[in-house]
Structure 1
Amino acid sequence: MKPLKKFAVLGLVCTTGMGAGCTAMSQNEWLNQENVGTIIGAAAGVLVGSQIGGGNGRTAAMIAGALAGGMLGKTIGSKLDQRDRDALAAQTQSVLDTAQDGQVTTWTSTHSDAQARIVPVSTEKQERQVSIKRLPTIQAVPSMALLNKPYQAVKSANIRNAPDQSADKVGGLAVGTRFTAIGRTDNNWIMVGRKGVSVGYVYAPLVEPFKAPIAQAKPAQAPASDLDTLDVASAKQKGIDLDAIDLDATPVEEMLTAQTTCRTVNYSISSKSGNDQQSVKACQAADGAWELI
């Protein structure tokens, strides 16, 4: 976490039932490194949980706060200092995002004798209740499969307020427009995300996962438009129709059933304080962040 977030978390801990305040921490036997790690981790999860951006913008913060501090605070928190917990959280994020089941990843502290062996042992799809944000004019769906991936329009595509060809058109995407695909509905429509909020649906055959171009000596063309960075005026200049979408409306937040990816990860930790082993399970939320369950 960035220093500002660390201070914000510490402030939250100090104002939620501590009574004696931060000045008495070092004198309170209950507030040892192990327990403070648990409290700070849980508070961090709450704090960063409200800071949702597009795609997986809060993944690192969620892991640093909840994984390294909260869920593992009673074990790893008693053996690692804050720098090591943050570094291990960053390594865990990489493992969850890219490592195959059974693949061993090792981590070594840059300033202590701490080491870790991280192994994802299983990956599965689960149906879970997840929180989705949508504009008030966009209809809800009862369920979908989470994607949390960058997509782009391969044909001109209408954005509709419901996953149906007869639903009202609320916008349109020009060819090459990038956006975050929040999920896929049961009838093959893609929920279009802008800064973590659903602004409508496009028919799946009109879009595809975005593939970053191979690096070239000099750019062949201007980069494609990204829905997250556009307002109504600049979008119109690029042939993207957002006129009927009230981008300033307060989003509606609700729970729906979604098929999401869950991974079980085994840790083996060694440090001067001893050795420890633990397994955790993490599932992806609607914005792509990994959350421990």
Structure 2
Amino acid sequence: MRTSKTKSMIAAAVAVAGAAAFTAPAAQAGVTSCSAQGGKQEAGALIGAALGGLLGNSVSGHNRTTGTVVGAAVGAAAGSAVGCQMQHQDPAQRARYDREDRFATYVSGGYRLSSQIEPARFSRMGQLSVINRDFGLRAAPDFSSRYVGKLKGGERVDAMAHVRGTDWILVGRNGVGMGYVHEDYIRPDNARYAYGY
């Protein structure tokens, strides 16, 4: 009886060690790699493999080796997922991704513009405005240009500039032009105007 239990525990230890040894190279190879930097994913996979292997060994009945291996594999996958999530939630990682995800910009006519939109000739406006009704933000001051976003009715935006020779307005936020809105879809944000007029 003790010999059988000792053999099962040795088999469990070997399976857990094997799962742990497999997990680290797999993470480096990209099988369990996380898009956020850090070591929490690998640590989670190792801890999950160890706990899963021990749990699998204890509940598997007569075939403890299979239970240990299956438990270690499931534990490693769960630990890896939890570790990756923790890496993404790390404040330093979130700040880094916010910087990376921010759109590229360029300067044209004295305005900072999103790289998704085309330049134009502008006359400065610089006022807070409200979108009258839902409107697809355009890449150029033309209804046939592609969409680069959507604005909802009642949403406030910076009306940065009027596009010279057209009925289009450059709108943006935080000093960056994000796209063009036809003037029929936007109004100044002041008390003289009722919503939808």
Higher relative contact order (CA 8 A, sep 6+): 1
Higher helix share: 2
TM-score range, shorter chain: 0.3 to 0.5
* Higher alpha-carbon Rg: 2
Higher strand share: 1
